[in-house]
Every structure is written in C-alpha cells, then in structure tokens.
Amino acid sequence: MLNDKAKLESGMQNLGFENIPQIISKLLIYKDLLIKWNKSFNLTAVKNTDVVTHHFLDSLAITPFIKSSSLLDVGTGAGLPGIVIAIGNPDIKVSLIDKVGKKIAFIKRVVLELEIKNIETHHNRVELLISEEKYDGIISRAFSNMDDFIKSTKHLIKRQGVWDGMKSKKFLNDEMVSINKPWTLEKLDVPFLEAERYLVKVSNS
C-alpha cells in the first residue's frame, strides 16, 4: 500500500505535473495542519486516510481544465480546492471565500506557514462580496445547486469567464435544466479514486 508521499507522486505524474517534490512537500504540511485543526474546529468532513485521494488528488485533477489566471473558490471551507490549486499552480491568483470565520483563520495559517504568495482570503458571504476585480473563473465544491451558484456569483465574474462546479454525475441532469448558458461536462481522471467525478463548466457568454 502506497504511503501519502508515494501516492501523491504517482498521482501527480499521471496528471502531468512538474516540480512535484516542491508541491508534495507543501501538500503534506497542509495535510498535517488540516488533520490537527479539524479535530478542534470541525473544518470539513475528512478522515486521515481520505485526504490525499478524496481532497488533494481530486482537486489537482481539475487543473488541466482550468484556463483562468484569476480564480475565486466559493465556500472554500478548509481551502478545498483553492489551496491545492494555488500550491500546484503558482501562476494562478486564487481567492478563497467562506462565511465561517474559523475556516478563514485556518486558511490564513496555512498560507502563512507555507508562504503561499498567490492566495488572498475573504471572510464573507459571496453574494455580499464587493470586489473591483472580476474573476476569469469561479469554482466550488460546496454549492449543492449550479443555478444557485451562478446566481450568487454573477456579479463577480468577467464577461467570457467560466463557472466550474465539481460534481458527481447523478445530480447533474436535474440541476442543468434551468441553466440558460453554454455548458460542457468534463470527466475527471482522479488517481486512486474509484468514484466518478465530473467538472461542469458554464460559460458567461
């Protein structure tokens, strides 16, 4: 059975990443912080054995489909997928927003400890966020409904920007009926994960 380091290395090679040792080093520290803080603050539903596959590799698997130079992660919780995307893609400016203060406090600790330069945080509800900057992409694992996700964030996305929703396929048919914008569905190849995962991409055009 592969340990976390070996699993990350194998998975990231399959996903085509470069600078793998540096990324793995930061992800393993992030994992330790996540497990430690989660015991006291219940940041996310996570087990020690689930983190690498269900959270880190799951988040890294969307990277080939992210074309944004600026990305907003909505309802980021413990920083997923935003922190993982930022660590793996230092050229992408990633903003993370959550309405729960203890989750943003945790993210700030991770950013400080890992010296991540391409992350900013917002403690707010996304529908109340006022930002002069509009984002190329807006992503979420947290929203249960794509229509609500789009409506809550439409004031923050650039024209021709893209909403990305990480989903399992069984929920998609009902959700997408009300979407009147062009959308595509990408199947994610998540190493070591048997469950099917998909990325819904909705264009703001």
Listed by start position, the domains of the chain span 4-203
Instruction: Note the pLDDT tens digit of each residue in 131-151.
Output: 988 999 999 997 878 999 999
Extract the runs of DSSP E, i.e. beta strands, from the chain.
70-74, 93-98, 119-123, 135-140, 157-167, 183-188, 197-203
> Residue for token digits 């413990």?
78
Give Cα 143 distance to the centre of its chain.
Answer: 12
Reported confidence tier of residue 47, pLDDT bands at 50, 70, 90: low
Upstream peptide bond of 81 is cis (omega within 30 degrees of 0)? yes
Q: Which CATH superfamily is domain 4-203 in?
A: Vaccinia Virus protein VP39 (3.40.50.150)
Give the count of beta carbons closer than 10 Å to the beta carbon of residue 180. 9
Q: What's the predicted TM-score (pTM) here?
A: 0.94
Instruction: Note the pLDDT tens digit of each residue in 90-121.
Output: 999 999 999 999 999 999 999 999 999 999 99
pLDDT at residue 192 in the model? 94
